[in-house]
Amino acid sequence: MKKIVVLTGAGMSADSGLATFRDAGGLWEGYDVQEVASVHGWRKDPETVLEFYNARRRQLADAQPNAGHRALARLEASCEVTVITQNVDDLHERAGSSDVLHLHGELTKARSVENDDHVVNIGYDPIHLGDTDEQGHQLRPHIVWFGERVPMMEKAAGIMQEAELLMVIGTSLVVYPAAGLVDFAPAGIPRYLIDPARPELISLEGWTYIPRKAAQGTPELAEKLLGNK
């Protein structure tokens, strides 16, 4: 059974109608991303930050996995598939993927401002000022904000080292530290990049580049791989 490791980015969620952090020049439906996705913004105006993520959660509740998400789930019928995603939505899980690592946190969870290990599932419910853990500490979105450490990077790097086939979907590999994960994959394994934007900062030597959107290119590649089994 081949071990497939998949790294997904914003393009995967965009094909389900979810906006990305870098749309509209750093604005997200009128919000300055640096003000709602940073520790500085949280300390300055926590109510606005909570309102922003509550709106994202409502949007996510209405979104549906696209053909790309479902194609990755189908691969589990004959391959061992681990998805490492930069996205904070739950669309991979809802499509049926069983092994998903979220680099940047999860929108459907909250955590204590005083204890990063105290994480609770909230689904699509809002978080308000005054919502606290058992010790009375305010809950915040379980999201890795700009400037914060990415705690899952070491685990993700270890997963990459075990890959026998690598798929990178919906990202042009320009945002670090996540983009550096591909350097941990073994040399010589098949590598596929699915994204309309041709990457500018890496060489495509050794890659099969598929200039398609995630919802289009992923099912095509999945069917090809399943046909080779």
Gap between the Cα atoms of 35 and 113, Å rounded:
17
Residues with catalytic roles:
104
β-pairing verdict for 100-102 and 119-121: unpaired
Question: Looking at this protein, which amino acid is placed at residue 195?
Answer: D
Tokens 């900062």, residue located? 201
* 215 SS3 class: helix
Q: Which of 80, 91, 74 is nearest to 9 (CA)?
A: 91
Cis before 186? omega within 30:
no
How does DSSP assign 13-79, residue by residue? HHTTT---TTGGGGEETTEEHHHHSBHHHHHH-HHHHHHHHHHHHHHHHH----HHHHHHHHGGGTS
> Are 106 and 142 spatial neighbours (Cβ–Cβ below 8 Å)?
yes
- The number of C-alpha atoms within 13 Å of 146 and in the hemisphere containing its C-beta is 14
Rg over alpha carbons for the chain, rounded to the nearest Å, is: 18
